Amino acid sequence: MDEQPEITAATLLRLNEEVAGLRRRVDCLERAAGLAPEPQAQAPPLPVLPAAGPVPELAIDQAGNLAPLFGWSLLGIAGAYLLRAMTESGTLPGFAGAGIGIAYAAYWLYLASRDALDKPIFSTVHGLTAALILAPMVYETTVRFRLIPLTTASAIVVLFALMGLGIGWKRNVNAIAWISTIAAIATATALFRETHDAITWAVTILVIALAIEISACRDHWLSLRWIAAIAADLTIMIVTMLAVRPNGPAVNLVLAAQIALLTIYVASTVDRTILRGLTISWFEIGQAVAAFAVSIIGALQLTDQAHVGLFCVAGGVLCYLVSFAFLESSRGHDRNFYTYSTYAVLLSTAGGTLLLSGFLLSATWSLLAVVMIGAGFTRGRDTLRVHSAVYLVLGIASSKLPQVATDRIVRTSSDVRPDVPASFIAVLVGLALCYFAIWKWGERDDKHWTDTVEAILVAAILCLGMDGVLAGWISVAPLRTALLTATAILAGWAGGRWQRRELTWLAYPLLAVAGLKLVAEDFQNGQSITLVASLIFFGGGMIVMPRLMRK
């Protein structure tokens, strides 16, 4: 019997178009011969719909094509179980059975690469079949039968992941890369769960992460980076926790794994953002922070904090160099500049805190604040002024300037000494130099409201610190009230004299601080005669201040 040709929707649609074309030609000939009237208005063409009959046949045909595909996959998995049964029964030698099984899984991965462009679903199903064959095969031959060593199993897992990435890259099929990567990570984790070999597990995961980052540097598997990065971060965290315990992995090897994690993701970020000039992605921002946190916190548990501090300082210096040597002029990629400069301030902060303490720490923060605010004004970079504010806050916090100044002014504690701590003086000098920079360079045409806030805060803390220094040598409470009142009057006068709005706005708040001091100390502890003196000083300031402000 002759075979009937297969009728598809595409064939019917083509025949329908040819018939419509012939009909239009006949109509034209009839009108030219006068056999048909001219059309008044052309009706819109009716939508051409495929015949109702062949559509179910087409769906049935697609399902018929998919059913054998899954059937062959099940037969492939059955072949893997047959190899396992032959190995268990002794029909095949153990090592030969393991080798044949691995080659069998590789063959299915090869099948996934065929017709990947024309039939991606075929490629996906074959890749999944290869993963379902390889993962149990490697696990059982390593853990249960002990036919291959763990290092060999890890190498096979890595090779499987690399093959999947390579095939997916060449054929442009994402599913193969995802399947092979997830299967490799899951298999490596399962092997660690049974063998407890943390170093081999870490190396396996890091090699897979390195392969994906190398691919990402050429714009492949960008969405797959999250999976490998999370697996690598968690792996190094767990390995570090194990290294702290007795009989854990070697400390040097764990430190090397931490450095490798950081190197992989920093190198890929530098390649994409500095060498290629791409805008840094949110993944790269987050993963760089995560890699630094995992490596630095982990290293602090295993080694001396001085080495970690030096490493952080070196990283901060490099980030500053990259920010201002390579990225400052690239206005089109400001996110890169802000990201690297933020890394710089974070690493510098961590390094300084780990290396220094006391006077040296406060002096360092003050010096950095002065350098940053000067560079920010001269180079026109507000980012550096923000960094200056960060370092200034760190210096104030490390020296406890507000607490020490308040104790010396209000005498809330009885152990106040006349001498001033060296860290207090260092921060006070830094505040004075920062305010001098604001005074000299702060006035500009495009002044923002944040500039005024910056000037007010620096001036206020500077006044508080200076009053704290002077109040330490004054034991009489009314004189300290007079000191605060005089500071408020002086600020109001200087603000009007040199047109400094921040000083003018500080006059009344400083006078209010004097009033709070009067209530907190003078009324509570003062005798009548001293209270009279305090009220005279404060009341006189309230009288003089409005007249001075009007002038």
Cα separation, 231 vs 229, in Å, equals 5
- Three-state SS string over 245-310 comes to CCCCCCHHHHHHHHHHHHHHHHHHHHHHHHHCCCCCCHHHHHHHHHHHHHHHHHHHHHCCHHHHHH
> Which residues, in sequence order, are CB contacts of 249 under 8 Å at separation 6+?
198, 199, 239, 242, 243
Q: So what's the pLDDT on residue 22?
A: 65
What angle, rounded to 10 degrees, do the helices at 334-355 and 358-379 form?
160
CA distances (Å), origin 388, targets 37, 360, 519: 88, 17, 36
Q: What end-to-end distance do the CA atoms of the chain give, in Å?
A: 116
Residue 23, token pair as written in the block: 């009909």
CA torsion, points 354, 289, 338, 268, in degrees to nearest 10? 120
Q: Comparing C-alpha atoms, which of 387, 381, 492 is closest to residue 434?
A: 387
Q: Is 551 in contact with 495 (CB distance < 8 Å)?
A: no
For residues 300, 301, 307, 309, the Cα torsion angle rounded to the nearest 10 degrees is 10
| Cβ 427 vs Cβ 396: under 8 Å | yes
Contacts of 235 (CB under 8 A, 6+ apart): 201, 202, 205, 206
Looking at residue 167, its pLDDT comes to 82
* Beta carbons within 10 angstroms of residue 315's beta carbon: 21
The predicted structure's pLDDT at residue 180? 92
Helix (H) / strand (E) containing 544 = helix 528-550
**Cβ neighbour number for residue 76 with a 10 Å cutoff:** 20
DSSP state of 332: G
Any idea which residue has 């901060």 for tokens? 316
Residue 443 is encoded by which pair of tokens?
Answer: 């006035």
Which DSSP state fits 420? P
507 half-sphere exposure, CB direction, 13 A CA radius: 22
Using CB atoms within 10 Å of the CB of residue 531, give its burial: 0 to 12 exposed, 13 to 18 middle, 19+ buried: middle
Cβ atoms 423, 399 nearer than 8 A: yes
Tokens of 294: 């995992």
Q: What does the alpha-carbon distance between residue 162 and residue 211 come to, in Å, rounded to a whole number?
A: 7
According to the model, what pLDDT value does residue 496 have?
84
CB-based contact 351:296 (threshold 8 Å): no
* The pLDDT value given to residue 49: 41
Predicted confidence at residue 51, as pLDDT, reads: 43
Distance from C-alpha of 116 to C-alpha of 201, rounded to nearest angstrom = 32
pLDDT of residue 374: 92
The Cα–Cα gap between 102 and 95 comes to 11
CB 51 within 8 A of CB 68: no
Q: How far apart are CA 102 and CA 179, in angstroms?
A: 17
Helix, strand or coil, per DSSP, at residue 549: helix
Q: What is the pLDDT along the chain (551 residues), one digit of tens a residue?
A: 444 444 455 555 666 666 666 667 666 766 665 555 555 544 444 444 444 444 444 333 444 456 677 777 787 788 777 877 787 777 777 677 778 888 888 888 877 777 555 666 777 888 888 899 989 888 988 898 888 899 999 999 999 999 889 887 877 778 888 999 999 999 999 999 999 999 999 999 999 999 999 999 998 888 899 999 999 999 999 999 999 998 889 999 999 999 999 999 999 999 999 999 899 999 999 999 999 999 999 999 999 999 999 999 999 999 999 988 777 655 545 889 899 999 999 999 999 999 999 999 999 999 999 999 998 888 878 888 999 999 999 999 999 999 999 888 887 666 667 788 999 999 999 999 999 999 888 766 566 677 888 899 999 999 999 999 998 888 888 888 899 999 999 998 888 888 888 888 998 899 898 888 888 777 777 566 677 888 888 888 888 887 777 76
Q: Please calculate the CA angle 209-212-213 and round it to the nearest 5 degrees.
A: 85
**pLDDT value of position 332:** 46
Assigned token pair, 507: 């006059």
Contacts of 365 (CB under 8 A, 6+ apart): 352, 391, 392, 394, 395, 398, 427, 430
CA distance 57 to 429: 87
Helices then strands, each counted (H, E), the chain: 21, 0
DSSP symbol at 419: S
Query: Can you tell me the distance from the alpha carbon of 283 to that of 216, in angstroms, rounded to the nearest whole number?
Result: 12
Hey, what are 369's tokens?
């604040």
